[in-house]
Structure 1
Amino acid sequence: MSKRINLCSGPRNISTALMYSFAQREDTKVFDEPFYAFYLDKTGKEHPGREEVLKAQNHDPQKVLEELLSEAADKPVLFIKNMAHHMSLLDKNLLAGFAHIFLIRDPKEMLTSFIKTIPNPTLRDTAYKEQYEIFSYVKGELGPEPVVIDARELLLNPEPVLSEACKRVGIVFDPAMLSWGKGPIPEDGVWAKYWYDSVHQSTGFDPYKPKNEEVPDHLKGLLEECCFYYEKMFEYAIKAI
């Protein structure tokens, strides 16, 4: 295995589509949120399919990583899709040896989608703070500089943004990454039936469509907090050409 790539995303983003994109590469083995059971076990959070997830995955992060490396041993590239809040509880030593991609999204667009499921989210629910803390650690302690992909920039022009991201993590862009067949893929987590309907209907990155919904007044303070962390990471984002 020559390259290990870790994707760190927040909720209500296009992280599953990005995982599907990497899954189209013949040289790559992808894994879907392998530390989800560890997170649920550690926090006691109630999520759809909680018991299924707890049964499906090992709860020991070190053993999870060992299993991933073993399963992907015959592929040159390992790609792990992770959620920032899952990663925030990990021993940071597990982050070493990976090229890191941070997938971010405009907080206004994320929140107006997120509140349809969780009406009164907290800052921790949005994972912006956790994502920024991991970004800062990777940037300051691990090197090389982490790659940042903004969802809007990617949807505006998928090929140049993906091509540049691949270049920065040290792999060659593959045009196969731009499309996939409808329906699930074998690598989907057991929670896919609760969350992945839209990506299962897709055949590639959908064109960007601006959202005109407003964040409710009682969440304006939360929006400001999220924007603080988002803007610090957006400064490093690959811009659409």
Structure 2
Amino acid sequence: MHIAMWSGPRNLSTAMMYAFAAREDCAVVDEPFYAAFLQASGEVHPMQDAILASQPTDPSAVVANMLSPAPEGKAVFYQKQMSHHMLPEFPTDWIKELANVFLLRHPARVIASYQQKREEPRLEDIGIKQQCELFARVQSLTGLAPVVIDSDDILADPEKGLKALCAAIGLAFDPKMLTWQAGGNAADGVWASHWYASVWSSTGLKPTPIKPLPALPENLEKICQQAMPFYQHLAQYKLVF
């Protein structure tokens, strides 16, 4: 089974990758289109040169890798995919071959977290608009609405959430998904030292009380309001458990 988890940044996406990496039957890959996105877009991100050197920059080569058998002969190939890395000129027909899941997080939470690492985020940076576009693309290619899950729901009850997710994609739940070793994962991208400090210090997914939405300054609140229609559209489809 090949699983593409489509997310924006700061969406619990790394923790979800760690959860799947904890399964003995699963290989994972971390943001495989990152270098291709940087090369094609001209965007400048932290650790730019290291990222470009670490991955293929040809999106067709990345697609071929994503459709290849899972590394190490594993039965499951989990792909942590960033929706904002999928530029309009990148191929998308291949995604019909995968089990596609869309990982949501309220835009206010995403923006509040993202701006701590990269100032002045734009709507394009947080990936929610691109998630909607990819969601529609999957619907068009398959005739079915793909699975949507909200990170707040996962955090509130990780075991119940992961069980619901696994059931929705036809994968047996493995209790090992709830814990991992602190200190990172061998599959982490080279950018991990800049972005993954909190998940590196974690040892698993534990029930977490959901805090009120953060207050945003006026400039970031505008971005949040731009993002809300996309979030609300996808939230109609999210798993309820």
TM bracket (short chain)? over 0.9
Partner of 1:225: 226
Structure-1 separation of matches of 2:69 and 2:25: 15
Structure 2 letter corresponding to 1:200:
W
Structure-2 separation of matches of 1:71 and 1:138: 22
Structure-1 separation of matches of 2:10 and 2:3: 21
Structure-2 separation of matches of 1:235 and 1:198: 30
SS in 2 for 1:6: strand
Partner of 1:55: 53
Structure-1 separation of matches of 2:174 and 2:149: 17
Partner of 2:217: 216
**Higher alpha-carbon deviation: 212-221 or 7-16:** 212-221
* Contact 1:32–1:80 under 8 Å retained in 2: yes
Structure 2 letter corresponding to 1:83:
M
- 1:211 deviates by 4.3
Structure-1 separation of matches of 2:32 and 2:9: 15
Structure-2 separation of matches of 1:14 and 1:71: 23
* Contact 1:5–1:101 under 8 Å retained in 2: yes
Partner of 2:76: 77
* Contact 1:152–1:208 under 8 Å retained in 2: no
Structure-1 separation of matches of 2:176 and 2:218: 43
Give the number of equivalent residue pairs.
238
Partner of 1:101: 101
SS in 2 for 1:30: strand
* Contact 1:112–1:213 under 8 Å retained in 2: yes
Structure 2 letter corresponding to 1:86:
H
Give the RMSD, CA atoms, in angstroms: 1.7
Ranges in structure 2 where 5+ consecutive residues have no aligned partner: none
The alignment status of 1:122 with 2:122, answered yes or no, reads yes
- 1:87 deviates by 2.2
Relative to structure 1, the CA distance from residue 49 to residue 151 in structure 2 (aligned partners, 3 Å threshold; closer, same or farther) is same
Provide the TM-score with structure 2 as the length reference.
0.93
Structure-1 separation of matches of 2:70 and 2:76: 12
Relative to structure 1, the CA distance from residue 72 to residue 110 in structure 2 (aligned partners, 3 Å threshold; closer, same or farther) is same
- 1:18 deviates by 0.1
1:131-170 matched pairs, under 5 angstroms: 131-170=131-170
1:8-87 matched pairs, under 5 angstroms: 8-68=6-66, 69-70=68-69, 72=71, 74-87=73-86
Provide the TM-score with structure 1 as the length reference.
0.93
- 1:238 deviates by 1.7
* Contact 1:13–1:104 under 8 Å retained in 2: yes
Ranges in structure 1 where 5+ consecutive residues have no aligned partner: none
- 1:221 deviates by 2.7
Structure 2 letter corresponding to 1:80:
Q
Structure-2 separation of matches of 1:45 and 1:67: 23
Q: Deviations over 1:80-117 (max 9, x none)?
A: 00111112442111212001011110111111222223
* Contact 1:159–1:178 under 8 Å retained in 2: yes
Structure-2 separation of matches of 1:144 and 1:5: 16
Structure-2 separation of matches of 1:125 and 1:236: 23
Partner of 1:237: 238
